[in-house]
Structure 1
Amino acid sequence: MLMMKKLLHYGANIVEIAISLYLYSILQLFYFYPKRIQLPEKSVVIALITVIFLSFMFWMYKHQLKYGNDWNFNQEPHWSAQRLVITVIGFILITLLGTAMTIIVGHGSISTNQEALDQISKQSGNMFKIMVAFIAPFVEEVIFRGMFFNTFFTKETRMNKWVGIVVSGFVFAYMHDPHITRFILIYWVLGCVLAWVYLRTKDLRYSMLTHILYNSIGLF
């Protein structure tokens, strides 16, 4: 009975990750290709759908924590000076390491993913900035840090911490570079830093903030 309960919990978490990825893909269509969306009061409708989708994803994440949270994630109080310092350190690390890896791996070129984003940005305008700077960091942290650790690395052990950081970073990188080119190493490093921030602070708000700051560098 206990084993069946664990399997059902595990399966439910996998389904919630899949649902979140699907909702994310819908939001990307709205923000990357706004001219294709034909709706009355389009901006208001898209904003409302965004709030509903993001709220639902975060609710699923918190719901998972109620049924298994060995790490004590998302515990109150949510804000503290110490964890904000970790966020700043994470931002510095992700900026320096990201730049270094781009120089080492890129050799003056950019990834296919970045090329696609550059093309999309030309036609979607400010909607692109909103997606990349705010929505993407929120959703990706919920999925690749929050739901990921609560599904695949549920026990707080030293091994789970470091293996989880590496694996979470790779999954994050693969989603950004599914063809597994040399540029996957850049995204891998970025994902590992974000996972480190999450595990150090035990609160998604801080890895989201690090992610938002990093993604905003080249936009505003």
Structure 2
Amino acid sequence: MALVSVLVVTFEFTGGKLLVGVVSGDLARALASDAIYLVAFLILVWMYRDVLKADWKVYWKHIWRNLVLALIAWAIIKVGLEGIRWAMTQVGLSVSAVIMPASTSINDIKTIQIVSSLAPLLAPFSEEIMFRGTLFYQWTNSKIAGPIMFIVSSIAFGLVHWNSFNGQIISMIPYMFMGAFFAFIYWKSGNIWHNIMAHLFFNSYPILMALYGLFTM
């Protein structure tokens, strides 16, 4: 299961990139990307359904408290990312935010924003299962492997956003810290839904803002 999850997420971010690259047009690429994320989501959720079901039962018992905690985690991530980016600029490093695909017209941008919204909503499931579940949490009982995989999973989480930053590794460093924060959440809670919901809130915010701007323009 661990090997398959790594292969699925690797295809999602590398093989998927190659597949999307052969499709012409921003809208077609967005649809292809959604399809790839959906396949990865279905495979990993099915594979880890027992863990997801068991953890959800525990998470649901205090759902409102847990959602508030997820919102707090989202706020910490937002402030933390901006703080890390600011600190990096103070030492002369050029750091970019997520680079969105360019489009040729306002109508195209609106359509692509709507179509592209599915992938970020599915990504928290596959990413948390792979990076926090497979790469990190199963090693937490080991005093040697645990800290090593904490670092490895955090760096890998940042690097997997290669496409979002057009390969600018410096710009991925704040996401490595975000990966470390997610690993810390899973280590302390032992429940993957705390990670998924916090990650989902983080990914949903720019989508909601984009859709708000879309319908108020």
> Shorter-chain TM-score: what band?
0.5 to 0.7
Which amino acid in the other structure matches residue 158 of structure 2?
Answer: A
Go from structure 1 to structure 2 and tell me whether the alpha carbon gap of 1:191 and 1:84 turns closer, same or farther (over 3 Å shift): same
Which amino acid in the other structure matches residue 13 of structure 1?
Answer: A
Q: C-alpha separation between the residues in 2 aligned to 1:163 and 1:89? A: 27
In the alignment, is residue 16 of structure 1 matched against residue 1 of structure 2?
Answer: no
CA contact (8 A) 2:159 2:172 kept: yes
Pick which of 188-197 and 100-109 moved more.
Answer: 100-109
Structure 2 unaligned spans of 5+: 210-217
Q: C-alpha separation between the residues in 1 aligned to 2:196 and 2:56? A: 16
Which amino acid in the other structure matches residue 135 of structure 1?
Answer: L
In the alignment, is residue 55 of structure 1 matched against residue 42 of structure 2?
Answer: yes
Q: C-alpha separation between the residues in 2 aligned to 1:33 and 1:204? A: 34
Q: Which residue in the other structure is 2:125 paired with?
A: 138
Q: CA RMSD in A?
A: 3.9
Go from structure 1 to structure 2 and tell me whether the alpha carbon gap of 1:146 and 1:34 turns closer, same or farther (over 3 Å shift): farther
Which amino acid in the other structure matches residue 104 of structure 1?
Answer: A
Structure 1 position 13, deviation (Å): 2.0
Go from structure 1 to structure 2 and tell me whether the alpha carbon gap of 1:215 and 1:102 turns closer, same or farther (over 3 Å shift): farther
CA contact (8 A) 2:136 2:183 kept: no
Pick which of 163-172 and 18-27 moved more.
Answer: 18-27
* Deviations 1:166-213 (CA, angstroms, capped at 9, x unpaired): 321111011124856322221111111111222222222221111121
Structure 1 unaligned spans of 5+: 1-11, 66-72
CA contact (8 A) 2:85 2:174 kept: yes
CA contact (8 A) 1:86 1:201 kept: no
- Out of 117, 134, 142, the position equivalent to 1:147 is 134
Go from structure 1 to structure 2 and tell me whether the alpha carbon gap of 1:56 and 1:146 turns closer, same or farther (over 3 Å shift): same
Which amino acid in the other structure matches residue 102 of structure 1?
Answer: R
Q: C-alpha separation between the residues in 1 aligned to 2:135 and 2:151? A: 12
Which amino acid in the other structure matches residue 202 of structure 2?
Answer: Y
* Deviations 1:134-170 (CA, angstroms, capped at 9, x unpaired): 11222211221122235xx434256655443332111
Pick which of 79-88 and 185-194 moved more.
Answer: 79-88
Go from structure 1 to structure 2 and tell me whether the alpha carbon gap of 1:60 and 1:23 turns closer, same or farther (over 3 Å shift): farther
Q: Which residue in the other structure is 2:86 paired with?
A: 103
CA contact (8 A) 1:83 1:201 kept: no
* Deviations 1:74-123 (CA, angstroms, capped at 9, x unpaired): 37423225544542332222111111112223579653x822x3437937
- Out of 73, 76, 93, the position equivalent to 2:76 is 93
- Out of 126, 129, 153, the position equivalent to 1:168 is 153
Go from structure 1 to structure 2 and tell me whether the alpha carbon gap of 1:174 and 1:35 turns closer, same or farther (over 3 Å shift): closer
CA contact (8 A) 1:61 1:147 kept: no
